[in-house]
Amino acid sequence: MIPDSLIEDVVVQMLRNAVTKLPHDVEDALVRAHATETDEVPRTQLKTILDNIAMAEDAVTPICQDTGVQIFFVKQGAVETGDLVEAIGRGVARATGEVPLRPNTVHPITRANHKDNRGVRMPYINIEPTAEPYLEMTVMPKGAGSENMSQMAMLTPSQGIKGIKQFALDTLVRAGGKPCPPIIIGMGIGGSADISIHIAKEALLRPLGEHHPDPDIAALEKELYEALNEIGIGPMGLGGRTTLLGLAIEYAHCHTASLPVAINIQCWAARRCTARIHPDGRVEYPTHPGGA
Amino acid sequence: MAEHHLTLPLDEATVRGLGLGDTVYFNGTFVTARDEAHIHALEKAEKGEPLPFDLDGAAVFHCGPIMRDLGDGRWEIVAAGPTTSSRMNNLEPKFLRTFNVRAIIGKGGMSRPTVDAMQEMGAVYLAITGGAAVVAARGVSEVKGVHWLEMGMPEAMWVLEGDDFGPMTVAIDAHGNSLFEAIDAEVERNVPSIRQRLGLD
């Protein structure tokens, strides 16, 4: 059995990795964006972002003060675990003090803050059973600036692909500079209201440069990415060529009378960390092979 | 575009002299304030109660930092990037007029009523790179204190000492001009060609 104490320790390390060092695909995309910009204002924004990434990694300190709420995606392979939810919660509380993370999690109405990022249903944990011989956990610390720009629409089937494209364009224009561009757009198409939002967020877990295995969906990703990047919002909404670092779509089959579509926006600080825990206690961090 | 290294607090003439797109760095004392600190400060002003920090000529940073508690009332700044300023859109015009604040630091810009209040009072909006929380924290030499910590670490009013704090870009000047409105207009101009490209017409 994988002991709770190991899961707790791994969660602390995952959060430290995630908030202090971006995955390579994200950093590489920001370097390319800086090389693309010609005007002084967007170049200054991207230069500051790249300086900040280097300084955060060097000092093992959070890239952004908004260390988000902690969303976990767990793939429960053929391994035995104890009280997984409690162990993850304890890991989040410890990381809040040790990394440190900002205590962001509050009661939705009273706004009371327990100061350890734990609360009712928080940290939020998605668990999916798999046949793999290990436990895989991914954490996505999600800041509010980008999350607040999320949109969901119940389109009619007759609105079809045009409706989906229009929704993406409208959502981008409405978000403007607020979600800390350059952004990544996660789109969920189909399913039901809740499924579309869930898979929109899941789409953000896909590394930049990878496309959906379905060639039609991959073509739609490319078409939307290239067209929407002509919008001119630019880094931090101050104008420029780079508004999107990427756009990923996930889809699910849906009711014949429905066409749900959702967008979850990710800021440039696209933080994620994955850990694999093997039954013999070995731990790998595929997103952070060199450590934090 | 000019670069300015300014000492706080600011006077009206200095602020009126800043041009859209100029780069600004601050030296001296300034404070953070987000949603709850704005509301709390305005409530106090309405009751005629004094604020713990004089905002006349001050710079106010839309920021909820990560601070490390060193004990004995001492704090170390860890990360301190800007939060989304538009959340304060409905509070800022009154805040500027009530307290005579000269500079708002944030990200994402603010709406027309704030631009108008800045023109009227002589204040500017300075955009600092969102998410670049370590760069911003390096520009703070000392955490001088904290007020209203009972509202939580992000929402409290932190008193910071800037040491060439920046770079910040003048994104709303004191003459009614907004870089964000200029970008919005450009976005509007770009929409028709994107619609055409996506086959939406």
For the stretch A125-155, pLDDT in tens is 999 999 999 999 999 999 999 999 999 999 9
At how many degrees (to 10) do helices A40-59 and A24-36 cross? 150
Q: Is A40 on the interface with B (CB under 8 A)?
A: yes
pLDDT of residue A203: 98
pLDDT of residue B201: 87
Q: Is A48 on the interface with B (CB under 8 A)?
A: yes
Binning chain B into helix, strand and coil, the percentages to the nearest 5 are 35, 35, 35
| Average of per-residue pLDDT across B131-160 | 95
Residues 134-173 of B with CB under 8 A from A: 134-135, 137-138, 152-154, 167, 169, 171
Q: Which domain holds residue B15?
A: 3-197
CATH number of the domain to which B41 belongs: 3.20.130.10
pLDDT of residue A3: 96
Q: Between chains, do B83 and A66 touch, taking CB under 8 Å as contact?
A: yes
Q: Which residues of B touch A27 (CB under 8 A)?
A: none
Give the one of B79, B138, B171 whose C-beta lies nearest to A64's C-beta.
B79
Q: Is the dihedral of CA A217, A180, A43, B189 positive or negative?
A: positive
| Average of per-residue pLDDT across A266-281 | 97
* pLDDT tens digits for range B11-33: 999 999 999 999 999 999 999 99
pLDDT at position A290 over 80: no
pLDDT band at B1, cuts 50/70/90?
confident
In angstroms, what CA-CA distances link B64 with A123, B78, B85, B198? 20, 11, 12, 39
Q: Between chains, do B23 and A67 touch, taking CB under 8 Å as contact?
A: no
Residue with tokens 């800086």: A34
Q: Which residues of B touch A113 (CB under 8 A)?
A: 152-153
DSSP secondary structure code for residue A273 in this structure: E
Whether residue A179 is preceded by a cis peptide bond, meaning omega within 30 degrees of 0, is no
Task: Tell me if residue B38 is catalytic.
Answer: yes
Residue with tokens 């800007």: B82
Q: Is A101 on the interface with B (CB under 8 A)?
A: yes
Separation between Cα atoms, residue A249 and residue A245, nearest integer Å:
14
Point out the catalytic residue in the list B38, B40, B62, B147: B38
Give the one of B109, B134, B200 whose C-beta lies nearest to A61's C-beta.
B134
User: Which residue spans within A56-179 are E strands per DSSP?
Assistant: 69-76, 124-129, 135-142, 151-155
* pLDDT tens digits for range A222-254: 999 999 999 999 999 999 999 999 999 999 999
Q: What structural domains and CATH numbers belong to chain A?
A: 4-21+63-143+271-284 (3.30.360), 145-266 (no CATH)
Give the one of B21, B64, B169 whose C-beta lies nearest to A65's C-beta.
B64
Q: Is A110 on the interface with B (CB under 8 A)?
A: no
* Residue of A66, A226, A265 best to disrupt the B interface, most CBs of B under 10 A: A66
CB A53 within 8 A of CB A30: yes
Q: Give chain B's domain count.
A: 1
Residue closest to A69 by CA, chosen among A136, A19, A8, A109: A19
pLDDT at position A219 over 70: yes
pLDDT of residue A292: 53
* pLDDT tens digits for range B46-73: 999 999 999 999 999 999 999 999 999 9
Q: How large a percentage of chain B has pLDDT more than 70?
A: 100
DSSP secondary structure code for residue A224 in this structure: H
| Average of per-residue pLDDT across A85-89 | 98
| Average of per-residue pLDDT across B93-108 | 97
CB A61 within 8 A of CB A129: no
Q: How large a percentage of chain A has pLDDT more than 70?
A: 99
| Average of per-residue pLDDT across B70-95 | 95
Residues 30-89 of B with CB under 8 A from A: 36, 63-66, 68, 78-81, 83-84, 86
Q: Is B185 on the interface with A (CB under 8 A)?
A: no
pLDDT of residue A291: 65
> Who contacts B54 (Cβ-Cβ below 8 Å, separation ≥6)?
none
Q: Is A224 on the interface with B (CB under 8 A)?
A: yes
pLDDT of residue A256: 98
